[in-house]
Amino acid sequence: MTPLAARTLPDLDASVSTPSYDRSRVRTGIVHLGVGGFHRSHQAMYLDRLMEQGQALDWGICGVGVLPHDRRMAEVMAAQDCLYTLLVRHPDGSEEARVIGSLVEYLFAPDDPDAVVEKMADPATRVVTLTVTEGGYNASAVTGEFDGTNPGVVHDLQPGAALRTSFGLVVEALARRRERGLPPFTVVSCDNIPGNGRLARASFGAFARLRDAELGEWVEREVPFPDSMVDRITPVTTDADRADLAERFGVEDRWPVVCEPWTQWVQEDSFSCGRPPLEDVGVQLVDDVAPYELMKLRLLNAGHQVLAQTGRLAGLEYVHEACADPAFRGLLRGYLDEEAKPTLRPVPGIDLGRYEDGLLERFGSPAIADTLDRIAAEASDRIPQFLLPVLRGNLASGGEISRAVLVLAAWARSLEGADDDGRPLEVVDSRRDRLVAAARAEDPLALVADRELFGDLVDVARFTEAFAAARASLRERGVRATIADLG
């Protein structure tokens, strides 16, 4: 067994691919906030591929942990010289292991926020990227309005505060660059949100305006916030994954990353201070990301919600189990074909029917062992971004809504705390208390009356009648019988 570190790379088994480039020559050009599994399976992997080609050695990544729970990642990065193993699992059970070397620094903001700010203010930093989750932009999913009363925001707006939020850190770095006569870096959101660049501009600009109106205007006018669409299924790393890596490849890695073979990155080509040659490793550089973004959000991400919210009621644990079950696979296919696809415009270079077939194959891979619980978590951030736009589009056009409504009703049912056989269901959501209270209320429409999440849907009779009927069916007959009624 070989513990992973820079000094042990030559000792790893030949079956493990390792960086052939000299990591001591890599210089930071990107600062990334929110280093989790997805960033390490996706963006960091693309940069590693470039470096393996002898390119982009001035585009190394400095990872930043913003939240207190990121301390564990900071400890692992320190112990392993920012190295980690990417384990790609194929549907046939085969695996590929690659040590990724493009992350070369890691800073933990709670310990030294000024070090993070200065890193972003450094002229060498030309791009700041974000994976801070759908809820990390502090904006209403319905109105897009920035919440200036958020405690972290209020704290970071105090003069001399030890900065706690991504808004405080990024805006302070931009302010210092402006004061020093340096051009602003580009801010790239890699989160699953429609118009993620536009939302990032609105959120960071709003924070800057609260701090100083002139600074806010400068941020909104001068800082590029290009849209992106990113895709790779990356489940949470488990102890079983660590054990598998050790057994098959002889690597002792405290926090490897497991992912599927599929990967996609579509990026709006709008950068202020240059960018890596991402097109050389398969990134699609485009003028308009929106068609790709909506395709992914409304098919893949919403499709995940279809399986997770309903499958958990039937006692299923994994995505591939739900996808293999004829009832849930049929529900998903019907949602994709009859509800989601009609709301999409053509996507350049993409056959949507083949894309849907590919999703079913990806979801059905037992090698990934992605859990329904992971996908169902933080649904109050995900459902308004992924599923509700499809529902609203079909309400406006007179299209089919039964499957989307069933998913919402299944979410409400799961918030009551048990599946169809009475087994407890855990609710993991930042809005947990208010959601659970609404779901358990006597009024069957209490949940969807939350206008912060659902807007005016509670005023639409076609929706509320279908939702109340689906909830009643789920309570009285269970999820399988309710799905069967859809035909």
pTM of the full structure = 0.94
User: Sign (positive/negative) of CA torsion 452, 304, 47, 294?
Assistant: negative
**How far, in Å, CA of 11 to CA of 61, rounded?**
25
- Quick check: 232 pLDDT over 90? yes
Whole-number pLDDT of residue 135 = 87
> Can you give the residue ranges of every domain in the chain?
2-286, 290-484
Longest dimension (CA), the chain: 66
Taking the CA atoms of residue 417, residue 423, residue 424 and residue 429 in that order, the dihedral angle to the nearest 10 degrees is -60
Q: Which helix (DSSP H) or strand (DSSP E) does residue 374 occupy?
A: helix 372-376
Cβ atoms within 10 Å of 161's Cβ, excluding its own: 14
Whole-number pLDDT of residue 143 = 81
> Which residues are CB-neighbours of 170 under 8 A, at least 6 positions away?
33, 120, 128, 187, 204
- Mean pLDDT confidence for 243-265: 97
Cβ atoms within 10 Å of 424's Cβ, excluding its own: 8
Q: Give residue-wise pLDDT tens across range 95-122.
A: 999 999 999 999 999 999 999 999 999 9
* Banded model confidence at residue 186, pLDDT cuts 50, 70, 90: very high
Token pair 């990934």: residue: 368
- Quick check: 218 pLDDT over 90? yes
- The CA-to-CA distance between both ends of the chain, in Å, stands at 54
Instruction: Judge contact between 220 and 205, C-beta under 8 A.
Output: yes
* Banded model confidence at residue 336, pLDDT cuts 50, 70, 90: very high
* Banded model confidence at residue 252, pLDDT cuts 50, 70, 90: very high
- Mean pLDDT confidence for 256-260: 98
The mean pLDDT value of the chain amounts to 97
Q: Give residue-wise pLDDT tens across range 35-76.
A: 999 999 999 999 999 999 999 999 999 999 999 999 999 999
Cβ atoms within 10 Å of 347's Cβ, excluding its own: 17
Whole-number pLDDT of residue 57 = 98
**How far, in Å, CA of 481 to CA of 487, rounded?**
10
Q: Give residue-wise pLDDT tens across range 386-400.
A: 999 999 999 999 999
Q: Give residue-wise pLDDT tens across range 442-455.
A: 999 999 999 999 99
Judge: domain 2-286, CATH 3.40.50.2300: no
Whole-number pLDDT of residue 22 = 97
- For residue 443, the Cα-to-chain-centroid distance in whole angstroms is 33
* Banded model confidence at residue 290, pLDDT cuts 50, 70, 90: very high
Query: How far lies 282's CA from each of 98, 278, 340, in Å?
Result: 18, 7, 27
Judge: domain 290-484, CATH 1.10.1040.10: yes
Ramachandran class of 56: left when φ > 0, alpha when ψ lies in -120 to 50, beta otherwise: left
Beta bridge partners of 266: 229, 284
- Quick check: 303 pLDDT over 90? yes
**How far, in Å, CA of 487 to CA of 482, rounded?**
10
